């Protein structure tokens, strides 16, 4: 058993590994079993079912180890459970608007109706207006995630999307499409989390479980540091040797070099020593670079 879910009609869904998807009707006390059928393209995509979610439009979304499924039923049928229709969504290497990966781990619907899918390789967003013709927006480490494995998804009262990964927690701002990442240096019990181990309590606390316990916090209690530290030059070298200057480099406003000294470099640092390893830098040499170069913590 991988996951148990209660839908909007108080029905119970049981997700199993290798045994497909099972629905339990509390009134009749009977199970209905759904599984992959090789001769039926409308059946479940895979019998390794990881989770299920019913959205605000009463549509079911089923996460498996091989594809995402949208489950609907024929509303004209006397018994809806007899008319399942599984629509499959897969990762397509040549299509950047497809699902980020076929191994889907978690599902969440945000307040505005957008659907979020955490996978073994990135985060996939299906906006509400794109449901009829699914177009996925994908986010990876190159976009700011601390890790591409997304185990759990929660939303706070401010609309931020929180993600548990294999390398800490991440808070995503859908408006700016930016990530803010947290790890053990911020108080987490561990940086590696687990599938299905996430919960928003009745008082608004978040609990994320991992390999070494669980971390509980209230997202409203986390306050960003508003201090923007100054950035100063700390070194100027010519052919990898410190340049001989009349003043310390932070106070030098102009340097004139002969044409032979055409190999030079700068070093710079921010004047913030609370957590210097968390500082991130970007630089541009005007007249030479066309765009800002992100250098991380270097």
pLDDT digits (tens, 9 = 90+) for 60-76: 999 999 999 999 998 77
Q: Pick from 172, 184, 185: which is nearest to 144 by CA?
A: 172
What is the reported pLDDT for 230?
85
Neighbours of 57 (CB within 10 A): 10
Chain-centroid distance of CA 1 in Å reads: 25
What is the reported pLDDT for 105?
98
Q: Which CATH superfamily is domain 3-221 in?
A: YVTN repeat-like/Quinoprotein amine dehydrogenase (2.130.10.10)
Strand order in 136-139's β-sheet? 104-109, 115-119, 122-126, 136-139
Structure-token match 């030059």, residue found: 233
At 55, the pLDDT band (50, 70, 90 cuts) reads: very high
Q: What is the DSSP string of 159-200?
A: SPEEEEEBTEEEEEETTTTEEEEE-GGGT-S-S-EEEEEEEE
Start-end ranges of CATH 2.130.10.10 in the chain? 3-221
Structure-token match 């209690």, residue found: 221
Distance CA 68, CA 288 (A): 46
pLDDT of residue 274 exceeding 70: no
**Average pLDDT of 270-292?**
81
**39: which 2 tokens?**
């001769």
What is the reported pLDDT for 227?
72
**177: which 2 tokens?**
């499409």
How would you label 93-113 residue by residue, b for 16+ Cβ within 10 Å and e otherwise?
eeeeebbbbbbbbbbbbbeee
What is the reported pLDDT for 62?
98
**Average pLDDT of 232-242?**
90
**Average pLDDT of 145-173?**
97
φ, ψ (nearest 5 deg) of residue 129? -75, -10
CB 223 within 8 A of CB 186: no
Q: Which residues pair with 182 in a beta bridge?
A: 169
Over residues 75-119, the pLDDT tens digits come to: 777 687 889 999 999 999 999 999 999 999 999 999 999 999 999
């Amino acid at each position: 058993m991988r996951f148990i879910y209660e839908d909007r009609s108080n029905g119970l869904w049981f997700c199993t590994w290798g045994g497909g998807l099972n629905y339990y009707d509390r009134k009749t006390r009977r199970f209905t079993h759904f599984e992959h059928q090789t001769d039926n393209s409308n059946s479940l995509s895979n019998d390794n079912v990881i989770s299920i979610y019913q959205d605000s439009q009463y549509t079911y979304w089923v996460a498996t180890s091989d594809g995402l499924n949208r489950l609907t039923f024929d509303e004209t049928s006397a018994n809806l459970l007899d008319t399942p229709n599984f629509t499959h969504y897969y990762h397509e290497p040549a299509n950047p608007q497809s699902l980020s990966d076929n191994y889907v781990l978690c599902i969440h619907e945000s307040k505005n109706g957008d659907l979020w899918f955490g996978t073994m390789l990135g985060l996939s967003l299906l906006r509400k207006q794109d449901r009829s013709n699914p177009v996925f927006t994908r986010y990876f480490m190159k976009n700011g995630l601390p890790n591409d494995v997304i185990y759990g998804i929660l939303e706070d009262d401010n609309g931020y999307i929180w993600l548990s990964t294999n390398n800490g927690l991440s808070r995503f701002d859908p408006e700016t499409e930016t990530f803010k990442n947290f790890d053990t240096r911020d108080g987490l019990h561990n940086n590696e989390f687990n599938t299905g181990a996430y919960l928003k309590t009745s008082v608004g606390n978040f609990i994320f479980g991992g390999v070494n316990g669980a971390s509980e916090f209230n997202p409203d209690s986390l306050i960003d540091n508003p201090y923007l530290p100054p950035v100063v030059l700390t070194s100027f070298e010519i052919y990898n040797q410190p340049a001989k200057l009349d003043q310390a480099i932070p106070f030098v406003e102009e340097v004139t070099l002969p044409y032979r000294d055409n190999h030079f470099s700068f070093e710079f640092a921010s004047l913030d020593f609370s957590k210097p390893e968390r500082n991130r830098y970007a630089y541009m040499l005007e007249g030479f670079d066309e765009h800002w170069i992100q250098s991380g913590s270097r």
